[in-house]
Each structure stands twice: as structure tokens, then as C-alpha cells.
Amino acid sequence: MSEGQYEGGKLSEPEWVVIPQDQCKQVGDAVSLICTVANIDVDDMEWTAIYPTRRPISVGQFINTPHCPSSCTIRVDESIGEYNLTIDPLESKDFGVWQCSAPTADPQAYTMYLSAPDTCNNVTISVNDYNLTESNIYTVHNGSYLNFICDPHGCQYPCVTTKWFNGTEEIKTSTESNELSLTVSEYDDGISITCSANVATDPPVEDMTVLHVLHQPRVFEILILVGSQPFTKGDKVELECSTNGNPDPIYEWQVGDEVLQDTDRILNIEFNNEVTVKCTATNPHGTDFDTIILKEKG
């Protein structure tokens, strides 16, 4: 086996001139798999179908290829190191991962996908190190780094490109990748992440997942739902503790010095005099509170 060509008494390094590119074809099409390497003996190069069935195809040799050599043509141009495999027509068994290998001193190979668009029938989203807690729901912690992976089953690039959405808004990524990385915060609690796989010949197929982000409560403010400042003695007052938090917090109300037994986010009281009302929200991840002063008229 050759390990390169000699130039000036020294072994020259192989140079990959044309690297195999992914292709999207259908059964019955013709395809040319192109691989060009300089400074090696082209006769020793090899195309191999490495998935789903390993099938080496080299010059003058067709191993375990039921419809080759009748449908397969090897074209070699030693002057430029070009080594092309043409398959015409394509059969279903031809789709998968193909590899062009060069028998250099340090063996090298490049792989490509030969894909068919009509094999994409569904798509699923998975998240690193997390399992679904309910149908399409991932429960994660505040500050977690998440790597979403979109798997279009039975279909490979370039027959499919993926886009990511937060609700209906597209998430811009540097490339059309089947992976998305996010560091989540409490403000991401309840958002939906969708992967849309755009297939060459079919409408997009999609999968959607919802994030439940565990975080401590935040009390934004105490709202007056019934009544208005200032109050008269005997007025009915309804207050709401405006919060977030996951899981939902429990509430503690304090009116003046009195801690009430009411643990709902809504509090109904009768106004007697000017007083400070405090709402405290607590869940397993922390506590927060806010206060409001109910003022007396006049």
C-alpha cells in the first residue's frame, strides 16, 4: 500500500483537495461521490459505505454490493488525485454514511451523509442529563445549562435543516444546527421550545417541549383588588400577593403585629385603622416578602 509520493527524495504529505460533501437524493436518482487527494496513489483509495451496512468499494473491486458493479462506476484521475464513485440508479440500501479513505502513513478518512428526504417522518427533542417529568415537560433548576438536541428520525443532513423557536419567536443561532444551548432563568419558567425540521420535499415536522424552571418565589407587590386608598373604618379590603415561584409558594400574611392563619394569595380583611400588611411567600427554594401600608382617610 502506498504511503504517499516522493518529491526530491522526501515523502510528501497528502493534501485533501475536495472533501466529500453531504448529499440529498431519492431512490432512482444518480449520485456522484467526489473525493480528491493530492500526493498519494489514487489506486489505493477506497469508498466505503460504513452505515447501515459496511460495503467497501475500490477500483475494480465491488464487495458485498448486490447491485454493483452494474450500477456503480469508479472514475479515477491520477493527475489530480480524483477518486469518484457514481451510483446510478440509487437503491434504498445505498443511503447512509459513506467514507472516503486515503492510505497515507497516518491513515485519514472523511465521511458524508447520503440521505433521502422521504425518510423523515417525525422529530423528537431531548435535553442533556434530564428526563421528561410529564409529557413534553422538562423540570430543571434555575441557572441550569441545557443542551437541546433535535433528532429528525430516519433523516440526515442535508435533506433536513432545523430551526428553533421560543413560543412563536425564532431563536437565532449561528448555524442551522440540530443543537441549541441555553442557560435558563426563572423568567424561562413555562416557556415552550420547538424544533422545526424542514425537510426537502415535505412540510416541516416539529416537536415541542415545555420548561418548568424551579426557583424561589419573588413577591412583586401587594395589589388592592377591592377598595382604594385611603380607607374608612369598616371598609372591606381585598389584597392579592403578586408573586411567582416554582413550585407554587405558600403564603403568610401579617397585619400589624398579628400573623394570620390564612395561607392563600388573596386576603380579605375589614379596615380598622392605618396598618402595615406584610405578605411572605415561601417554597423549598427560598423566601421573599413585600409590605403595604393601608392608610386611613382624613
Average pLDDT over residues 222-232: 96
Residue 160 lies in a domain: yes
Q: What mean pLDDT do residues 228-232 have?
A: 95
How many Cβ atoms from other residues are within 10 Å of residue 269's Cβ?
A: 18
Nearest of 164, 215, 218 to residue 185 by alpha carbon: 215
Instruction: Please state, in angstroms and rounded to a whole number, the distance separating the CA atoms of residues 149 and 72.
Output: 36
| pLDDT score recorded for residue 64 | 36
- Of 115, 149, 169, the residue that ends a domain is 115
CATH number of the CATH domain containing 247: 2.60.40.10
Which residues constitute the domain of residue 14? Answer: 6-115
Shared domain for 221 and 176, answered yes or no, is no
Same domain, 222 and 238: yes
Q: Report yes or no on 228 lying in a domain.
A: yes
Dist. CA 50–CA 109, nearest whole Å:
12
Residues 127 and 108 in one domain: no
Domain count, the chain: 3
Q: Give the angle subtended at the CA of 61 by the CAs of 57 and 64, to the nearest 5°.
A: 60
- Looking at the fold, whether 14 and 87 belong to one and the same domain comes out as yes
The pLDDT value given to residue 68 = 54
Residue 1 lies in a domain: no
Q: Are residues 205 and 270 in the same domain?
A: no
Residue 141 has a CB neighbour count (10 Å cut-off) of 12
What lies within 8 Å, CB to CB, of 79 at 6+ separation is: none
pLDDT tens figures, 56-92: 555 444 433 444 545 566 666 666 667 777 888 888 8
Contact at 8 Å (CB) between 83 and 74?
A: yes
Asked if residue 177 is part of any domain, the answer here is: yes
Residues 203 and 239 in one domain: no
Q: Mean pLDDT across the chain, nearest whole number? A: 81
Please give the DSSP secondary-structure letter assigned to residue 231. B
Tell whether 200 and 231 lie within a shared domain.
no
Q: Which of 218, 242, 222, 220 is nearest to 294 (CA)?
A: 222
Confidence of residue 7 (pLDDT cuts 50, 70, 90): very low
- Averaging pLDDT over each range in 17-31, 90-104, 133-147, 187-201, which range is the top one? 133-147
